[in-house]
Every structure is written in structure tokens, then in C-alpha cells.
Structure 1
Amino acid sequence: MAELNGDQIPLCYEKIAPYIHRTPVLTSRLINEITGAEVYFKCENFQRMGAYKMRGATHALLCLSEQERSRGVVTHSSGNFAQALALAAKSLGVKAHIVMPTTAPEVKKKGVVEYGGIIYECEPTLYARNAKAEEIQSRTGAAFLHPSNDPDVILGQGTAAYELLQDQPDLDCILTPVGGGGLIAGTALAADFMNPSVEVLGTEPFAVDDAYRSLISGRIEGNETTDTIADGLKTQLGSNTFPVIRKYVKKIIRVEEEEIVEAMRLIWERMKIIVEPSSAVALAGLYRDRADFKGKKVGIIISGGNVDLGHLPF
């Protein structure tokens, strides 16, 4: 595939629009006061299946040929892409094979089953995920769709920022959480297309700060641990996401675990909406570096709201 460009996003959006929700943009007077910025939350927790990943999964499926779709699809994911692909596949009448680590949150496993996906559990390592996905692929002929590094997934994820910038074209910057990099890469492409003066910034936990280190070293770094409450951000950057991030993203803000919990609690209490820990990382980053954002118009992409209510951190 040719180099990813933001001008591919409008066509992508046209394709997926019948299958996704256009999510609301919310504000909070109190959060504006606390941060000193004018903050606009793009609420992908209200997306179908509860996360932005519905966009990329749907686009990737629609880009497959009918013959490819007839053989099914396979992916590996700890949760949100698993649910997204299962639901998108159900909408299009496609069989979805989902490899999930044994440590994946029960609420996300339940979602996959309810959306008709077939779960295959594996050990919580990248090697185990890939090995199981490859075995299913060779046995069934299913097309493999990577949860963050697939180019069609990246373009689909960019449609959240595309909508946000239609609603708020004069933002100074957009903050997103960073895991595999699909959301921030797609957001950067959309911003470059819609308004190149909009700065895109990443946020991630100190415990899994591979994107921060990758930007410094110029190569994809891994993580020694995955000890973070932000379960959606434990993956690392890929060969397609990293070049886009290097080109367009100048800064990654790192946050502590307690800052994530505090930001999550603030959103729940003050905005009355359910967000998962990974989503709260962006607000935690804004608050941590609030002096840099004073007086600015800031977009935050709330990535999802699939929370195990039996294991809240507060």
C-alpha cells in the first residue's frame, strides 16, 4: 500500500458512515477551570460497541473482497478491537475469529461473545497472540486484520478526529492515548488534512512508555512490563503507525497510574459519563502539563467506555 495520507480519510468516512455512530462532543465548565484550557471531548465511549475501534474494524472489513470476507477474519486483541471486529463482522455477515489473552477483562470477552465472535484464549504475550492467530489463519483461510497497524484500520480510526474537526475546526491541539498507535496515527492524518496547524499529542502511562522512547530513539521500542491500569495501552507501535507518528507527532506526555485514576474519576463524577482507564490517560496528560495548554482550545478523544464495573479503581 502507498504511504498513508489524510486525503484518504473522507472516502473512508463515506464508506463506514452507515455502520457507525457520529459521536457527540461534550464540554465541562469545571474541567475547563481546572485545566485552564477550553476542552472538547470527542466521546467515542458512545460509539457502537463502546469504543473508537468500531471505525477501523468496519473500514478494514469493507476493504476486503467478498471472497476474502467469505473465509472470515482473524485478529488478536485484549478487548476493544476484539469487540469491534466481532460486531463489524456480524453487521456484514462475516465469521470473526478472535484471539484474546487469558488476562483480558471479562467485560470485553463477554462483549465479543455477544457480538458473535469466536474466542481463542492464549497466554498474555505478543508471541502467543501471533502464533495462535497464524495457526487459525492457516487452518481457516481467514484474513488477518491487525488491531492497530493495518493501514485500513488506521484510516478508519482517523475518522473520529475528522468528525471532531468538522465540529470544532479551530482547535489548537488534539490529545489521544497511545497503545499500538492506530488512533494517534489516524488522528494525525485527519488533522493534517483538515487543519495542519492543529498539533497532535500522545499520552501514555510511565509503565508502558514505549511510544515516548520510540520518538526519542527513532526506532520502535518495546516494554519491559505491562503493569498499568490502562489495559488498552499495553501493545506497542507498528511498522505502519510509527512512521506516521514520527512525521506528525512531536510530543508524548507520560502520566502516573494515580493520575490516570484521578482523571477517570473526574470524568465519571463531573461529566456523568463512563470512560475506561485508557481513555482517562489523555485528560491526565493535559492536567499534568496544564501550563502548556493554558488558554488553548484542546480536543481530547475519549477512546472508549468498556469498563469492568466489578473492578473499579475507586
Structure 2
Amino acid sequence: MRGVILLLSLACFVMMTYSQQCRQVLTTVCDDDVVNSSMQKGAKGDVGRSGKSGIPGAKGDPGAKGVPGGVGQKGMQGESCALGSLGTDIVTRLAKIEELLTPPSTTTMATTTVATKTPSTATSTVATTTPSSITSCSTSSSNGPQTLTNGVEVYCEDGWTIFQRRIDGSVNFSRPWDDYANGFGQIHGEFWLGLDNIHEMTRGGGCRLKIELWDFDGNQAHADYSSFSIESAGNLYRLRVSGYSGNAGDSLSYHNGHAFSTEDSDNDLSGVNCATYFGGSQGWWFVGCAYSWLNGVWMRQSSGAAHGIIWKHWKGNYVPLKETKMKLRCD
């Protein structure tokens, strides 16, 4: 009998029709206590397995901005860096500019002379180099080495000051920037007076330039310019020249307005360093690269264009010259 009651109870639950009619049926079969006891809630079963995770929800709104943190401690000071080659070059040039702006004294100018005459080189045919009252060769009536009032030793020739001379290749013209600025060689032979000295002599204006050339066959030509000057070191000793006349052809006006270049100071407009591209490392007012190069390597026969001492409009770029002389006069 109890089994029948349980089956009837289960059927009522399944059909979700636990109603008054079902209860009446049960009541007619057994008493109320039996029915009530069969309808009591059973014990809680074990927890089932967790289901799969659902789809993640949408990202929430950003939170409020936090309070800024405090200022951190100051770091340790780093080591000072050393100047590179470019920095060193800039410092050197600034020092030179400062030196040029300082009023010259006899002692200072004496350090930039090309050569000091010594007893071993003195001969009876060479003019004295004792300091005199002349300010330039144009105020001197003597030819040969002379010492100006500022202490610079020059070579005078008929009132002209020779500032460059090539004869036989006895002096190496492959020099760095500082040598071309200060001067080098022997005043009695091959030499370069120095860009600083040339600038000092021509900065007042009214200067002329005369260039004399010789080839290896003894032929001679000349180029004269009615206006000539060299700018300061700060302007890279730019060449200012105009007013050509002569029979050598004008191979210098092409270089007018351009800076001086050397092996360690490339200031030309080409994609190479013209001072070293053609052999040697001689300084000049290169453009891209040269119509003239009187400081080129001294050689008897060229191995290519622009090799050697050249003056394009007289002998071309393939025929090196033997001797050159560059001189100025400021009246």
C-alpha cells in the first residue's frame, strides 16, 4: 500500500498537478499522517560539477585618475664627455679667431714668421733681416728678405711681397690646416708665407696680385689681378680676386669667393676632399675641384688630370708646371 502512495505522489509532482483533487485521492487511500510524511522535502544532494565559463562581459569604464606620485630623488651627475675631433677643431679655430682679434704685438707676430734667418744661412749676397721701419715691401727700396715692423719676415721683389714660391720640390707642401695658416718653408727658397699673414697684409684693401709661371721647357707666363685679398680665419680665408690681365689665361677667378681647404679641413663644394683626391694633400681655394693649383705636388710628368702644379688656361690640367711665384702689393 505504501508503494502505491509513493507512485501516486511522484506522478503528481511530474505532472505539476499537485492540486486539491490529487490530495483527496491520497486521503481516500490512507490517513493524513501518511500523506504528509511522504510529501516532506528530502535531504540536500551533493553539489554538482561547475558548468563552463560564460561569455566575458563588456569592459568596464576606466577608473578615476590616481593622485600623482611625489618627486623622485635627483640622480647622480654623469661624467663629462671628451671633445671629439670636430669639437677639438672648433675650439682650435675659435682660439685662432680670438688671437686675430687681439691687437698684435711684435712678440706675437714673430711666432708666425715663415723662417728666421740664422747665421748658417747668411751670405754676403742676401739682404739683411734686421728689423726696420718698413711696413710692407712697397715701402722698401731693397730686394730680398726683409723684416717688417710687425716682426714678419718677407721676401721683397721690386716693391712686391712674395707669399708663395715653388722651384724644385725641395719643400713638402702636403700640410695640415695650421701649417697653411701659420706659414712654412724657407724664405730663400720654396715657402708659403701663411694665410694669417696674407690676410693681415690685404685686409686694408687696395692690393694687387701678380702670378708668374714657368714650365719645364723654360717658357714663362703671367697673370695679374687688380684686386686681391684674403678673408679672416673665421671666414675660412676666402679668396677675393678680380680684374684679370696677362698672357697665362684666367684660371683663378673660378676660385673667387671660395674657402681654403686642406687635408684636415674640407671646405670645397665637391663630394670629395679635393686637397687629397688627386694625390698629396696640398691646400688651395678649391671649388669642385680646381682650374688652378699652384700648391699641388711638384712633379715633372703628370699621371692624370690635376696631378701636379697646374694652371688650366695656360697648359691645361695634364701638364704640370715647374716654377711658380705669387706676390702681392698694397699701395
Whichever structure has more helix as a proportion of its residues is: 1
What is the TM-score when the length of structure 1 is the normalising length? 0.27
Q: Which has the higher contact order (CA 8 A, sep 6+)?
A: 1
